[in-house]
């Protein structure tokens, strides 16, 4: 920097150190130069060679970078996404850039929220767009992904009931709204397939073991309900 004098026709090599660190999280990177007179008009890098044949000027061009750092995340990872690549470590980002950061939970966990220097950021679930107008430290929290369980189906008549008529009507309900019930009448565990789906009350004509489960997206499957309904002989007629 400053003014330098050289002999006419002298060969000159001008150079600059780059990057220059203003602090631990701010640096300045030389992108090249602009020149007049004997200095080439424009160039890249940190070194320029020229012959001093006339009054000249050399201006170094700089870019400011800010450090984007991540808080160590438990039960998940945070990474910068650029095209097909991702970087799960601290990176230098140019001033004015917008950086896409994604939080991915480990198995058995789910994303819970962003922490850190999120002012001015655009949040879309587990993705955050970070404007690099200053150094930033970004973190994410993850929590156990505990799904609610579907309520156990209720079979009516209840377990242990009897009937002495030709048939008995059985109904199955579930307290979880929107749950789908599957059942069996042969003592085997019902499977969530269409042929086992409960859609309306049904009749049994003999002693039957009924098993039922209920499922719903986003929930864990219910416990299995088991009911045995027994057919008994009708009472003898009463003589009068």
CA–CA separation, 138 vs 101, rounded Å? 9
Question: Which two structure tokens, joined as six digits, stand for 37?
Answer: 């007179």
Could you give the CA distance from residue 169 to residue 127 in angstroms, rounded to a whole number? 53
pTM (2 d.p.): 0.64
DSSP assigned state of 195: G
Between 87 and 85, where is the model more confident?
Answer: 87
d(CA 192, CA 153): 14
- Express each pLDDT in 218-231 by its tens digit: 899 999 999 999 99
> Average pLDDT of 164-189?
95
């Amino acid at each position: 920097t400053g003014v330098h004098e050289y002999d006419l026709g002298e060969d000159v090599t001008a150079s600059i150190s780059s990057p220059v660190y203003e602090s631990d999280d701010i640096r300045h990177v030389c992108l090249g130069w602009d020149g007049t007179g004997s200095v080439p008009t424009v160039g890249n890098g940190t070194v320029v060679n020229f012959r001093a044949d006339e009054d000249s000027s050399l201006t170094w061009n700089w870019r400011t970078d800010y450090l984007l750092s991540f808080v160590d995340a438990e039960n998940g990872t945070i990474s910068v996404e650029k095209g097909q690549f991702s970087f799960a470590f601290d990176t230098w980002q140019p001033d004015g850039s917008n950086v896409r950061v994604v939080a991915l939970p480990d198995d058995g966990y789910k994303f819970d929220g962003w922490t850190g220097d999120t002012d001015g950021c655009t949040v879309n679930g587990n993705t955050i767009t970070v404007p690099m107008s200053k150094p930033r430290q970004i973190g994410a929290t993850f929590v156990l992904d505990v799904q609610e369980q579907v309520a156990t189906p209720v079979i009516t008549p209840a377990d242990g009931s009897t009937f002495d008529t030709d048939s008995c009507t059985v109904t199955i309900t579930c307290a979880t709204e929107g749950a789908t019930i599957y059942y069996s009448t042969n003592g085997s565990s019902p499977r969530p397939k269409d042929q086992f789906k409960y859609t309306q009350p049904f009749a049994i004509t003999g002693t039957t073991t009924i098993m039922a489960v209920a499922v719903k997206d986003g929930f864990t499957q219910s416990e299995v309900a088991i009911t045995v309904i027994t057919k008994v002989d009708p009472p003898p007629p009463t003589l009068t």
